[in-house]
Structure 1
Amino acid sequence: MALEYKISGGDILFLIYISRCRTWDMGCFASTPKDSGGNRRRPGSIGEVSVYVPGLRIPKPVDFSQSLGDHLSKNIVERLSALRTRIVVMASQEGPTITRTKKKSATQHGGSTLADLQQALEDYLPVLLGLVKDGKAWCHLQYKVQFVWVNQEDDAEETAMSNAWYEVLSVLHLMATLSLSQANLLLLPRTSADGYQPKVSEESRRASVDIFLKAAGYLDCAVRHVLPQLPAELRRNLPVDLAEGVLRALCLQALGQGVDIQLGMAIDSTKATLAVKRRLACEMVKYWQQAQDNITNLPLGNGWGEKHRHFVKWKYVEAKVCIPSLPPDMANKCCL
């Protein structure tokens, strides 16, 4: 059935307002309910951004030898400790530079920092999952090790749980956050060699699509396979940015922005058919509509959570505006 996306006067006003506020303080984080009193330290402006990136949740040190030394082999404990300590050190030292990378320094430091920390997480996750799936190790990780993660924007806002699945969930969330940061760096316009207006290269756009898909994969795994492993009581005590609705919204955001980039490349290409452009436009609207549905009713009553909500609404309205701007035979046949 053909659908028409009607643009209300409110949508137009909202789009105009947001377009004038593109230089956002987007190092954002949705605070936990108990710490939503507005005392969070706000970072300075990070310049123009293309991607909403939640604030980094970084791990605090854990002494595995004290908790697991009498229960697991020395080699396993040392391996686990070394991998996690590497993440703790890198995240605490480099985390602030990742979320505050400005356009001028993005290519100098941001990319390598993201890649190194992402690699450290990719090395740690398989070892952690191997222990989680091992019955004996799981029992000890479940009850003897307390995993602590803290929001880098507010040291007082931390969550500690004695559950290895919480650690897996936090690792996946950090991997997705780093991927979104990396995509944002790729999509910052750069001055071309010919000296004309800064632009985003086609190579960077293509690379960002792959990164968006990777971020969506991490978040989808978190929602489908990790959250169900946590007891209901622990799920209720998770920080808001690990709530199912927020994770789903971030996942759909990554998919929506990936399709957005693909649509832009299709419009610029003489080889892309109208049917391809129409399909991409419809997918983009669908993803942003679903993202808004997931985040609309969440308790994000603070400046940080509101930024995420406004970003999603802005992209949804922008996607709807895109439909009428397409050729009539594309806009009128946009089906979900």
Structure 2
Amino acid sequence: VVVVVLLGTFQNLCFLWFSVELSGTLVLSIECFGFLICHHCAVNENTRTFDLTSQQPGQRTRFVEIFGVIHFILFVPAFSRYSEPLEMGCVVSTPKDSGGNRRRPGSIGEVSVYVPGLRIPKPVDFAQSLGDYLSKNIVERLSALRTRIVVMTGQEGPTITRTKRKTQHGGSTLADLVQALEDYLPVLLGLVKDGSHLQYKVQFVWVNQEDNKEETTMSNAWYEVLSVLHLMAMLSLSQANLLLLPRSSSNDGHQPKVSEENRRASVDIFLKAAGYLDCAVRHVLPQLPAELRRNLPVDLAEGVLRALSLQALGQGVDIQLGMAIDSTKATLAVKRRLACEMVKCWQQAQDNIMNLPLTNGWGEKHCLFVKWKYVEAKAAAYYYHGLILDEGNTEKSHGMAVAALQAADEYFKESKKLCEAFNAASPLSRNPPPWGTMKYLSEKIPKDTSSKVRINRDLYSHERIMETAPTLPDFSLALKPDEYQLPQVDSSWRTENIKVGQTDPNHLKGDK
């Protein structure tokens, strides 16, 4: 027994030292491993590893049981000392993280379109919440439709980076998940039909990505509708990203590029994503009481939803500008207008998220992406503005052209630094092979700026030129989000006889 006590004390001292030097997970693993050894020995009468006192199995077992008790007594003080740091911070307990609720990938691969993570729904027991009010058929249908989404998002994780992952039936997981959401939404809307009290009966739980809180629970079906629309938009942006990653052609073997078909399809997808988000802002957010709106995760904050919608429009305009560059019919005026519209989109997106607490990995990266694209758009706009000004016949217009081109060059250099910062931010990412608008401008801006400055070097000094960079013209946005409307309530609700229990129609809370 003395030997056992000494061994236990020595182990505890080692634990206290390791608790300082090593991570909490490793410490807990070491300690639990030791305790499991004791438990294994206690239940295995044939164990001879710890036979220090007797050759009789019964005595050996009792001895090891004593060892386990002493080990546990020595373990408790050290564990309580260690356990305090686990409660710090805004994130829900780390065991939930390790269980896969909020998985954080180390890298998200090539990024043409940034998607700030997919919010993931957690299982809901509709039978317990709605069994007293609805028929078994509709409760089971709600459960089946939502469970399908839970399983698919759980398998896919917070981001979709693979282009060719197929299901066993030949479809893609991305398309199947979008279809699952579209199937679920009309049935879900039955819970909010005509202000039904059923909208307050179910606690919906979603795992966040941009918010510091790991997950958000609310007893309001409009929160579920909002979450579904947000996920549909993020899946659309993911689909656009996959379309806009350059691929090598097996026919020509040249540098990877994005086909015109994919570019045109991506514009339609951007408008669809913007439509989902616009509907969420205009038609779903107003349905939530003010208190619940204040408690929404930052992922669903109005500013973030508006910024994502503007991001979709901005990237759609970027694709249009790239196609205009490739077209021999597009004039400089058309290209300048598109570039200036792109600036407006990204400026408004940045304004919407500027004061929001986007401080964790996905959120910080989101802010960097918007800032990078805003500066990149200004480089394009000043470049085309400079070319148009250079067509003038006056000394003043030539000087302003040089100023605009030098501004374009400065913004282009800044955009490259912001691009590096974006890719270095967690989760790591990388640029696809250059293509489209910025491939063209990365070659033209330095070359044309150097040429114009050399020609007009006697007109303006560098300092004077930078100080007098002309104001960009203001154009209204031509691209508009799709006019998405919430679907009609599923026909299965027409024959549903909702049982009215003892409910409070003014019950608006239940958020956690």
TM-score where L is the length of structure 1: 0.76
Q: Secondary structure at the match of 2:206?
A: strand
Provide closer, same or farther for how the CA distance between residues 112 and 28 of structure 1 changes in structure 2, counting only shifts above 3 A.
farther
Q: Tell me the CA shift for residue 27 of structure 1.
A: 22
Unaligned runs of 5+ in 2: 1-67, 77-86, 379-469, 474-480, 483-512
Aligned residues: 305
Distance 1:15 1:263 in 2: 70
Q: Which of 262, 267, 272 in structure 2 is aligned with 1:209?
A: 267
Distance 2:261 2:366 in 1: 28
Superposition RMSD in Å: 10.9
The residue correspondences of 1:88-127 to structure 2 (distance < 5 A) are: 88-95=150-157, 98-99=160-161, 112-127=172-187
Distance 1:326 1:108 in 2: 53
Q: Tell me the CA shift for residue 209 of structure 1.
A: 0.6
- Superimposed CA distance per residue, residues 141-181 of structure 1 (whole angstroms, 9 cap, x where no aligned partner): 33221001113799971110000000001001111111111
Q: Secondary structure at the match of 2:168?
A: helix
Provide closer, same or farther for how the CA distance between residues 32 and 249 of structure 1 changes in structure 2, counting only shifts above 3 A.
farther
Question: Does the CA-based 8 Å contact 2:340-2:472 persist in structure 1?
Answer: no
Distance 2:69 2:360 in 1: 22
Q: Secondary structure at the match of 2:216?
A: strand
Between 150-159 and 276-285, report the one with greater CA deviation: 150-159
Provide closer, same or farther for how the CA distance between residues 65 and 38 of structure 1 changes in structure 2, counting only shifts above 3 A.
closer
Runs (4 or more) in structure 1 with deviation over 4 Å come to: 10-18, 25-41, 99-104, 107-111, 152-156, 324-329
- Superimposed CA distance per residue, residues 3-46 of structure 1 (whole angstroms, 9 cap, x where no aligned partner): xxxxxxx999999999xxxxxx9999999999999997641222
Distance 1:192 1:26 in 2: 52
Q: Tell me the CA shift for residue 80 of structure 1.
A: 1.4
Provide closer, same or farther for how the CA distance between residues 132 and 40 of structure 1 changes in structure 2, counting only shifts above 3 A.
closer
Question: Does the CA-based 8 Å contact 1:289-1:316 persist in structure 2?
Answer: yes
Q: Secondary structure at the match of 1:149?
A: strand
- Superimposed CA distance per residue, residues 98-132 of structure 1 (whole angstroms, 9 cap, x where no aligned partner): 2576999xx99998111100010011112212331
Provide closer, same or farther for how the CA distance between residues 31 and 226 of structure 1 changes in structure 2, counting only shifts above 3 A.
farther
Q: Tell me the CA shift for residue 279 of structure 1.
A: 2.8
Provide closer, same or farther for how the CA distance between residues 26 and 280 of structure 1 changes in structure 2, counting only shifts above 3 A.
farther
Question: Does the CA-based 8 Å contact 1:52-1:180 persist in structure 2?
Answer: yes
Question: Does the CA-based 8 Å contact 1:15-1:314 persist in structure 2?
Answer: no
TM-score where L is the length of structure 2: 0.51
Counterpart of 2:471 in structure 1 is 325
Higher RCO (CA 8 Å, separation ≥ 6 residues): 1
Larger radius of gyration: 2
Q: Tell me the CA shift for residue 315 of structure 1.
A: 0.5
Q: Tell me the CA shift for residue 301 of structure 1.
A: 2.7
Q: Tell me the CA shift for residue 246 of structure 1.
A: 0.8
Unaligned runs of 5+ in 1: 1-9, 19-24, 330-336
Distance 1:296 1:164 in 2: 29
Question: Does the CA-based 8 Å contact 1:26-1:46 persist in structure 2?
Answer: no
Provide closer, same or farther for how the CA distance between residues 144 and 103 of structure 1 changes in structure 2, counting only shifts above 3 A.
closer
Q: Tell me the CA shift for residue 232 of structure 1.
A: 1.2
